[in-house]
């Protein structure tokens, strides 16, 4: 079985569903707490690839929802610094599959990289709308 390192926010229902899909598709997961990881700009940056900065951010983070942060005005260095200082801003999950790093749970994109069980390919599990208490 292949191993995926899965950075999540503990208690996020959507992250739980995402992990279940990956396990049902035959992957072993190493689960890590995205909020307590000791991020550096260099390591965090590897997950975002060529995505625009706005797609690096968790759109449900309070500072984003309340418009306290104007993402369009940030450069790469500022965005990474903000995320390191407040990891709730990082879009989830972050995943490492061997040498490949990904952000978010887009099944179309993931299906190009790994085998996802057919029954899950058209479901949406990107955003965390509830939390386990």
The active-site residue, picked from 12, 22, 34, 89, is 12
Confirm if 101 and 49 have CB atoms less than 8 A apart: yes
What's the CA gap between 110 and 133, in Å, rounded?
29
Residue 129 domain flag: no
| Residue 59 pLDDT exceeds 70 | yes
Question: pLDDT band at residue 118, thresholds of 50, 70 and 90?
Answer: low
Examine the residue annotation and report whether 128 is marked as an active-site residue of this protein. no
CATH number, domain containing residue 16: 3.40.30.10
Digit-coded pLDDT (tens) for 60-96 = 999 999 999 999 999 999 999 999 999 999 999 999 9
Per the structure, the complete domain to which residue 95 belongs is given by 3-120
Residue 130: partners with Cβ closer than 8 Å, 6 or more residues away? 13, 14
pLDDT of residue 129: 47
Name the pTM for this structure: 0.85
Number of domains in the chain: 1
């Amino acid at each position: 079985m292949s191993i995926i390192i899965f950075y999540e926010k503990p208690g996020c229902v959507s992250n739980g569903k995402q992990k279940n899909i990956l396990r049902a598709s035959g992957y072993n997961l190493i689960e890590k707490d995205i909020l307590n990881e000791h991020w550096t700009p260099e390591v965090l940056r590897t997950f975002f690839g060529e995505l625009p900065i706005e797609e690096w951010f968790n759109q449900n983070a309070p500072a984003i929802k309340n418009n306290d942060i104007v993402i369009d005005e940030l450069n790469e260095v500022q965005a990474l610094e903000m995320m390191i200082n407040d990891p709730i801003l990082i879009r989830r999950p972050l995943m490492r599959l061997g040498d490949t790093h990904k952000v978010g749970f887009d099944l179309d994109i993931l299906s190009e990289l790994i085998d996802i069980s057919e029954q899950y390919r058209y479901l949406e599990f990107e955003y965390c709308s509830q939390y386990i208490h």
